Structures are given as structure tokens and as C-alpha cells.
Amino acid sequence: MQGYIYPNEFELQWSLLIVVYPYLTGLVAGAFILASLARVFNVKEVQPTYRLSLLTALAFLIAAPLPLLGHLGHPERAYEILMTPNTRSAMAMFGFVYLWYLMMVLLLEIWFDYRKDLVVWSRGKTGVLASFRRLLTLGVTDLSEDALRFDRRAGKLITIIGIPSAFLLHGYVGFIFGSIKANPWWSSVLMPVVFLFSAIVSGIALMLVIYFFSTMLRSRPVDMACMDKLGSFLLYALIVDFSLEMLDFTQRLYEAEESISILGQMLSSRLVLSLIILQVLIGTIVPLVTLFLVAPTVRKRGFLKVPDEFRRLLYFVVAVFIQIGIFSTRWNVVIGGQLFSKSLRGLTTFKVGLLGIEGILVAGAIMLLPLVILYILVKVVPPWPDAEAVVESELTGADPVPAVQPS
């Protein structure tokens, strides 16, 4: 502690779980937006990640409310947000945004996309998995061309509706922070936009890691056209995100309000590691330079001619660095905004504990839970292109053709 702070500022009100919450919701929004590139905008290169992106978004969305529920003193009362809605509270309205995105967007789109597969997988088969898949069809087993055409149209319409819904899901988190006028670190009209684009960056980076890992674990060839396109999208999104953050920072410097002095002290002391090193250097500058050199943009290839195997490795390392940077961004917003006093003349410190509801173990478990959920979803409804090829072959009677050719 240094300077002058009020007695009630020794303990931070929002701790590690509130850092995890916007990080998870950002991954949901980013993964869904990547899926929309394949379905709505017909980007064929990222088609191998379409279904995997949908399941990833669902897995992380299921776990997204857990940090908030863990942070509440009485999480069993959370249902009252829906029973007695407070339309003036952005936090209270999250329950409705969450249910809309879960029930009316993700689950519906996944059902329309997988209905044909579920019917084929469960037809004439016995066992628990086949019975569960038969249950998921909801009794709709029509595989006529008209029915399948309706599924495709309905799924595409839901995806179009889901794009602004994804913006709303994560943009509102930035709105909560940006609308707190009393805190100069949070109060910014650019905060929702910055949160949204950082979500897109983190979601694409996550899908690059998951696609790479899942393909290698299944002993399948990695589609380099898909990896290159993901790298290109990641570069574009990272440029926009970094530009918005620099614009926000430049505006604060130009305004030079009375808070600029305490913000400067915080940046030069408390947030050196998390902001300067992890967020800016490791999470932004290094990925930007690397992707600019190796990822194809307006050229057919990157500025450096790198072998496919090494380029894949660089994409993977860059995606991991970006995840570190985005999590640091959430840390700097949530924790950094509480490190200076209301008097703007003092700084406090925050040390996260290992145990307890706000400790590292609980936060780590919540962050790993979506991967466990994703594993279960993948077993029930495989998202792999070769699984789609098998379904098509069973319907047409032709031999299955691998959807992904070796690079």
C-alpha cells in the first residue's frame, strides 16, 4: 500500500472469479463468430472448424455463469434474477441474455445442424449412446430433401441472428465497466468495443489451439489451408483490437484529467508485469510480428517462406501467447481498476490466494471445466469432417470420402 486510501479499500470487491467470467464469455463469442464465417459468409477454408466451434461455444457458455455464481454470497438465489427482473441493472439482465443465447441460438443451431446425423447414428442401433442420440432427435426423423433443406435454412437464419447476439453477450460486459463513471480506469465509451474485439481474438486463437490438438490426437492430417486462414483472421482481428486499445489509451493521455497521475503510477508499478509484459509484449506485439511474417494476407503466402510443420508450430505458440495476453487484459481491467483509491492519491495491492472460493484452484477448475464438457459433447455428437462424410455415405450409399485431404 502507498499513498492515501480509504479504510474500505483494503479489500477488493471483485476478485479472480470476476476476471475469469469475462474471459470465458469472450471465448464463447469469439468461437461462435468463427463458426458464422463458415456458415453465413461461406469461408470454405475454415469449414473444418465449423461444428467444433459450435460445440466449443456451447461448452464454454455452460461454464460461463459459474464464476458469478461462485462469487455470490448466496448462489442458490440466482434464479430470482429471472423471477423478479430489474431492467435497470445491466448485471441482472445478463440472465436473460444468457438464456437467449443458450436456448434460442446455440442449442437450436446445433440441433438443426446435427439432426440428420443424429437420425443416421441412432437408426437401427442399440445401446445408451444410440438411445440418447435418438432422444436428441426429438422424434423428428424425416430425412427427405425438403426437410434437410429446411434444416439448412433454419440453421443459417439462426446463425445470422446469433452474430449480433454474440456481440451483445460480450459487448454488455464491456458496457458494465465502461459505464462506471466514477472509475477513470473503466469509464470509456470504447470499452464495449475493445471487449468485443478482444473476444474475437481470443475465440479464434482458442479454436486454432483446439483444432490443432484435436487433429493431432486423432492422427489426422492438419488442413494447412484452414490453419493459414485462421492465422490470417487472427492477424486482422489482433490489428483492430490493438488499434482500439491504443486509441483508448491515447484519448486518456490527451484528456489529461486529474486521474492521469494515479493511472501513470499504477502502470509503472502495479501493472508492469500483467500489462506491459504479458498483455502488450507477449500477448500482442510478439503475435502481431509473427503472424505478419508467416500468415498469408494479401499475398498468397507470408513474407517469410516457412515450411508447413514449422508454420503450424508458430500458429500454435502465437495462439497460446494470445490467450495469455487476453487473460491479462481481463486481469488489468478488473483488478487494475480497483488498485487505486477513490481519492486518486493512493495505491493498494492485491494478492490472489491458492485456496478458497476466490482462489487459484477454484478459478483453474472452472477454466478447465469447459474442456471436460467439450470432450463429452464431442463423444456424443462428433464434429469431425470425416464423421460428416460417413453420414453422407450412409444416406447416398456411396463410399465415404475424407473431408480433409493431407496438406
Residues of the chain with pLDDT under 50: 401-407
Q: Is residue 389 located within the same domain as residue 247?
A: no
Q: Would you state the pLDDT for residue 341?
A: 67
Q: Is residue 336 located within the same domain as residue 361?
A: no
Give, to the nearest 10 degrees, the angle between helix 128-136 and helix 360-380.
90
Q: Is residue 143 located within the same domain as residue 20?
A: yes
The grid coordinates of residue 164 equal 449480433
Whole domain around residue 262: which residue ranges? 225-350
What are the phi and psi torsion angles at 380 (to 5°)? -80, -45
Q: Would you state the pLDDT for residue 378?
A: 93
Q: Is residue 359 located within the same domain as residue 344?
A: no
Q: Would you state the pLDDT for residue 236?
A: 92
Q: Is residue 244 located within the same domain as residue 139?
A: no
Query: In terms of pTM, does the model score above 0.85?
Result: yes
Establish if 5 belongs to a structural domain. no
Q: Report the candidate in 171, 185, 179, 193 with the shortest Cα–Cα distance to residue 94.
A: 171
Establish if 406 belongs to a structural domain. no
Q: Is residue 333 located within the same domain as residue 387?
A: no
Q: Is residue 127 located within the same domain as residue 254?
A: no
Q: Is residue 144 located within the same domain as residue 25?
A: yes
Cross-strand bridge partners of residue 345? 4
Establish if 213 belongs to a structural domain. no
The domain tally of the chain equals 2
With H, G, I as helix, E, B as strand and everything else as coil, classify residue 83: helix
Which residues touch 326 (CB under 8 Å, ≥6 apart)? 23, 26, 198, 201, 202, 205, 283
Q: Is residue 25 located within the same domain as residue 169?
A: yes
Burial class (CB in 10 A: 0-12, 13-18, 19+), 392: middle
Q: Is residue 334 located within the same domain as residue 390?
A: no
Burial class (CB in 10 A: 0-12, 13-18, 19+), 92: middle
Burial class (CB in 10 A: 0-12, 13-18, 19+), 310: exposed
Contact 396, 109 (CB under 8 A): no
Q: Would you state the pLDDT for residue 342?
A: 67
The residue with cell 432422444 is 135
Q: Would you state the pLDDT for residue 298?
A: 54
Query: What is the DSSP track for 385-403?
Result: HHHHHHHHHHHH-PPP--S
Instruction: Give long-range contacts, CB 8 A cutoff, 24+ apart: 384-389.
Output: 384/51, 384/52, 384/218, 384/220, 385/47, 385/48, 386/220, 387/117, 388/51, 388/117
With H, G, I as helix, E, B as strand and everything else as coil, classify residue 259: coil
CA distance 74 to 405: 52
Establish if 81 belongs to a structural domain. yes
Establish if 4 belongs to a structural domain. no
Establish if 241 belongs to a structural domain. yes
Q: Is residue 126 located within the same domain as residue 246?
A: no
Q: Would you state the pLDDT for residue 304?
A: 76
Q: Is residue 163 located within the same domain as residue 84?
A: yes
Counting Cα atoms < 13 Å in the Cβ hemisphere of 112 gives 20
Establish if 105 belongs to a structural domain. yes
CA distance 163 to 170: 11
Cβ neighbours around 319 below 10 Å, total: 25
Establish if 35 belongs to a structural domain. yes
State how far the alpha carbon of 314 is from the alpha carbons of 12, 136, 142, 277, in Å: 38, 40, 45, 20
